Chain A
Amino acid sequence: MARFISRRLFHLIFILIGVSILVFLMLRLIPGDPAHLLVGELASPQDIARIREKLGLDSSYVYQYFIYASNLLKGDMGTSIRSNVPVSQEIFVRFLATVELSIAAMLISSLIGILAGVISSVRQYSIFDYFSMMMALVGISMPIFWLGLMLMYLFSVKWGILPMMGRFTMGLDYHVISGLVMLDSLLSGDIQLFFNSVKHLILPAFTLATIPMAIIARMTRSSMLEVMSKDYIRTARAKGLSRGTVIFRHALKNAFLPIITVIGLNFGLLLGGAVLTETIFSWPGLGRYVVDSLSARDYPAVQGCILFFAVIMVIVNLTVDIFYLYLDPRLRIDGKG
């Protein structure tokens, strides 16, 4: 197991080198100049040249990359052109907001998706099956922007049950411990803040959960249908096991491999930030940060984010693979796990 993990982390090095070069080049090849955007329309060519020099943008790409990479090796991801704050710091703060939202969205989508998929499969062609699979289809094709606005309109504007934006109501006392508001409020025993932040989380989390939920439900259904027709399910029934035991102990564990893949993939994508949802609900996450950084041609910030995503994706994939080993003994080389 340790060897498996270290080999994957070794691969990560090459992924990072590749990704960093690619992003570095792509950013500089798309039109637009950070210096220009920074000083505005009225700046003189001399001003711009001065700033370009200050930002190190006047030297060759090779040299620029060399400087960038050697800083990276020292653990320095650079400084944001816009804010002058170290990129790592900016990413970290926003990442925590994204993590909170992503975990909530994945919990919702996995729980509901798996449950709906299981019920659909064991009651194939029932009304529930038709209904939930139709909902899944709607969920997959639903424009997120529209859904988010509708939810906001109904729950915040019309009925006033849930807050419209942000992670918690401005003005509430928040002692930062980890940066995850819900966790911190619990740690410091601030129940009011806890419920306040949960309320803020509900709408964006549901909006974000829709598509993964639909994908997970469909995947669970098809995977369960396949497994339920296997010989070992008949064996389990021939033992006199109850329907529930057959479904959850014997079938679901076998059906889980493709489901866990889908969950991992979607979680990885969410951790990269959700531009639309974050924009609608003013959630201070990574998605908006990347987009804003990109439109300002904030090279270090964008480069930092993309590298960060690459690391996240590798870690998520690694976790999925470890789950695989846990779930399917046939994949364990030594057999005993």
Chain B
Amino acid sequence: MAAPLLEIQGLKTFFFTRKGVVKAVDGVDLSLNEGETLGLVGESGCGKTVTALSIMRLISEPIGRITEGSINFEGKDLVAATESEMRKIRGNRISMIFQEPMTSLNPVLKVGDQISEAIQLHQDVSKKEAWDRSIEMLRLVGIPSPESRVNEYPHQMSGGMRQRVMIGMALSCHPKLMIADEPTTALDVTIQAQILDLINRLKERVGSAILLITHNLGVVAEVAQYVGVMYAGYIVEYADVITLFKEPRHPYTVGLFQSIPKKKGSAKRERLQAIPGLVPDLLELPKGCKFQDRCSRVFQRCREEAPLLLKLNGSHQVRCWLYE
């Protein structure tokens, strides 16, 4: 098999705050092949966004820093890339859409200008061509009468429309990888389905791989081929989507599935919750397994030694001493 498009190994991103070191990402290993979709799941605050921003190298320095690990993308280690190399990658080879469509677009620039700006930056086209391509992108993401809406400002659009604009912008340079950070969380339920559907269809068309970040297992089931489950900064389980749904191994993943009501159709809307206990304070992590305080199967070793990511069958990996 060819080398994966994106391969993250042992990634650690810390924030050196006044209160102490926040280990926001503390051991993330992921890999993603061309054209595939990888879901990254986990409770709020477990480090999903920081992982994504680390890939983009948009962590707010100097308080935030990638301290360890590598991010291989198209044969290049992004952790070691210079800022000017990253600028050629951002918005071009890797693009990103964010959780907050209401605030992610610049309020004083026309949406057309915001899209064509990226096109002009990365492709050798004239202003006029870039503008026309922006209209095309708006049409592609399903915005009615794009010729006139291209002239509008963000405040003239609804949240769903704005997220469509973001998607259009992200795909405008045909990136190899699109990172979608909870693209539907802030939207109405009906709009959520439309946006997911749109991402799925366009991905086929543009041929981009997608890193889909969500805290919603239903979303993962619908669009992803592979899933990484994150807990308190590290990956606790990684598998293809069928394996993960059929045979979840990590007690945390098992808990996630149990917390979803079994009724058909309602799963889509269910958010992760209902595992007793609290996420550990990232400033004061326990020795050993980070999940120990909430784990029903915890035993002596879990409190002494941090579990390693263990290989099961095929690509299935789990970070738990039960499977040693």
A interface, CB within 8 angstroms of B: 230-232, 234-242, 249-250, 253-254, 327-330, 335-336
Contacts and interface: CB of A to CB of B under 8 A. Distances in A.
Interface string B182-201: 00000000000000000000
Interface string B148-174: 000111011000000000100100000
Contacts of B152: 335
Contact of B87 (A230, A240, A253, A336): A240
Contacts of B92: 240
B107 interface: yes
B108 A240 contact: no
Given A240-B91, A254-B106, 9 more contacts: A232-B105, A238-B96, A239-B121, A240-B118, A242-B87, A249-B109, A329-B155, A330-B155, A335-B153
A239 B104 contact: no
Nearest to B107: A330
Interface string B69-111: 0000000000000000011111110011010100111111100
16 contacts: A230-B103, A231-B98, A231-B103, A232-B104, A232-B106, A235-B98, A235-B105, A238-B91, A238-B95, A238-B96, A239-B169, A240-B118, A250-B109, A328-B107, A329-B153, A330-B155
Nearest to B101: A231
A239 B118 contact: yes
Contacts of A236: 106
The 6 closest A-B pairs by CB, nearest first: A239-B91, A240-B90, A240-B91, A231-B103, A329-B153, A232-B106
B122 A240 contact: yes
A232 B104 CA distance: 4
A91 B280 CA distance: 73
Contacts of B103: 230-232
A239 B114 CA distance: 10
Contacts of A237: 58, 90
Given A239-B121, A240-B87, A329 B98 contact: no
B117 interface: yes
Contacts of B56: 238
A295 B108 CA distance: 50
Contacts of B100: 231
A232 B117 CA distance: 14
A330 B102 CA distance: 14
A241 B121 contact: yes
B117 A239 contact: yes
B108 A329 contact: yes
Contacts of B121: 239-241
Contacts of A335: 152-153, 156
B127 to A, nearest CB: 14
Nearest to B110: A329
